[in-house]
């Protein structure tokens, strides 16, 4: 029954097989055995589509309710015992999860000894339902409409340079000074991040990052900046610890405009939130509020609301349904 429901909800045998850790042939055989036992066809199969028959639709509706009732019963027991259990499947972007969540995992698992985590760490945007993930960590405010979100924290992008670079080239005192500095730039799909915006006496001005090096990888950009190659614009969650330790220096903080980038936990909409998901989300909210560990005391001017497509009215720790947004951009905000 579980295999059948997973095939329907995943939209095919291969997707269901990935979620269940089975081969497509094993899933196909399981469906065949159910059809033999019931004496009906549950699916109309073609080379490109898999559609439920009338009997299949009826069987799905009852089966899905039964499995949901079983899950509710298990969650009720978990709530009584006060312990979350089971495998928590998490999908997240590489940089944020690696540098901000991995250090927290030992404490979380020590608090929840009956839980295990299964991580899919990728900068590729994935369908949580199709991949069978319980939870995703997303940068920005673009999500599928069938997901529920909970705001965990915000980050911002900062202009930074290494002390060694500033010792050789001096500290820029105004946006105009950047013309004589080596500004490290993104190449490829993230090149839109090369437009740096500042407040000035005549309003907002824009400067295009221009230097002797371009790169398409955030970790490489960070390491080049640490090495003293030039000035870069990098998310505070990555450079906050370096600023506090003096390894990097924030620049033009009084006039650099940087819209806040919200960081959400997102999960498929269900009648009841699984205790394992709630435990992890509540843990992250505890760790990231009222101020996240990467936050520095560096002030920045208020962002221009008209230039903030990712503005999110929810406060950290609150849940909201996020409407579907369609466009040409990737649905995941670049983590860097």
User: What pLDDT is recorded for position 206?
Assistant: 93
Within-domain flag for 335 = no
Structural domains in the chain (count): 3
Residues 43 and 188 reside in one and the same domain? no
User: What pLDDT is recorded for position 20?
Assistant: 80
Within-domain flag for 327 = no
User: What pLDDT is recorded for position 145?
Assistant: 66
User: What pLDDT is recorded for position 299?
Assistant: 67
* Count of CB atoms situated within 10 Å of the CB of 263: 26
- Write down which residue in 48, 77, 106 finishes a domain: 77
- Write down which residue in 234, 257, 280 finishes a domain: 257
Within-domain flag for 92 = yes
Cβ proximity of 305 and 312 under 8 Å? no
Please give the Cα distance from 146 to 266 (Å, whole number).
10
Residues 17 and 72 reside in one and the same domain? yes
Please give the Cα distance from 163 to 184 (Å, whole number).
16
User: What pLDDT is recorded for position 126?
Assistant: 79
pTM of the predicted structure, to 2 decimals = 0.69
- In the predicted model, residues of the chain with pLDDT beneath 70 are 47, 72, 74-82, 141-145, 270-272, 299-335
- The contacts of residue 194 (CB under 8 Å, 6+ apart) are 185, 186, 208, 209
* Count of CB atoms situated within 10 Å of the CB of 1: 15
Residue-wise pLDDT for 58-100, tens only, equals 998 899 888 877 776 766 666 655 678 889 999 998 999 999 9
- Write down which residue in 54, 77, 100 finishes a domain: 77
Within-domain flag for 326 = no
Within-domain flag for 332 = no
Strand runs (DSSP E) across 286-326, as ranges?
A: 319-321
User: What pLDDT is recorded for position 76?
Assistant: 67
Residues 270 and 309 reside in one and the same domain? yes
Residue-wise pLDDT for 89-100, tens only, equals 999 989 999 999
CATH of the domain at 63: 1.10.10.10
User: What pLDDT is recorded for position 300?
Assistant: 61
Q: Report residue 29 as tokens.
A: 């055989």
Distances (CA, A) of 187 to 21, 191, 209, 329: 37, 5, 11, 16
What domain range includes position 203?
Answer: 157-257
């Amino acid at each position: 029954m579980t295999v059948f429901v997973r095939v329907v909800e995943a939209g095919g045998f291969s997707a269901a097989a990935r979620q269940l850790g089975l081969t497509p042939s094993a899933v196909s055989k399981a469906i065949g055995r159910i059809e033999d036992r019931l004496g009906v066809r549950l699916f109309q199969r073609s080379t490109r589509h898999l559609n439920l028959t009338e009997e299949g639709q009826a069987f799905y509706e009852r089966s899905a309710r039964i499995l949901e009732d079983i899950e509710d019963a298990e969650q009720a027991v978990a709530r009584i015992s006060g312990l979350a259990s089971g495998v928590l499947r998490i999908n997240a972007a590489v940089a944020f999860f690696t540098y901000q969540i991995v250090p927290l995992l030992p404490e979380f698992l020590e608090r929840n000894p009956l839980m295990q985590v299964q991580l899919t760490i990728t900068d590729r945007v994935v369908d949580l339902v199709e991949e069978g993930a319980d939870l995703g960590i997303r940068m920005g405010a673009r999500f599928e409409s069938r997901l529920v979100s909970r705001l965990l924290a915000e980050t911002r992008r900062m202009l930074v340079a290494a002390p060694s670079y500033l010792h050789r080239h001096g500290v820029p005192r105004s946006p105009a000074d950047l013309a004589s500095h080596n500004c490290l730039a993104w190449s490829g799909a993230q090149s839109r991040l090369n437009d740096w915006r500042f407040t000035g006496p005549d309003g907002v001005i824009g400067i295009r990052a221009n230097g002797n090096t371009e790169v398409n990888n955030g970790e490489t950009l960070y390491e080049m900046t640490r090495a003293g190659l030039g000035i870069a614009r990098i998310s505070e969650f990555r450079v906050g610890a370096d600023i506090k330790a003096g390894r990097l220096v924030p620049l033009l903080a009084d006039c650099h405009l940087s819209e806040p980038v919200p960081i959400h936990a997102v999960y498929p909409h269900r009648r009841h939130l699984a205790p394992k998901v709630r435990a992890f989300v509540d843990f992250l909210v505890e760790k990231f509020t009222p101020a996240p560990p990467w936050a520095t005391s560096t002030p920045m001017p208020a962002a221009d609301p008209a230039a903030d497509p990712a503005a999110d009215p929810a406060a950290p720790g609150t849940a909201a349904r996020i409407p579907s947004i369609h466009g040409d951009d990737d649905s995941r905000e670049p983590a860097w």
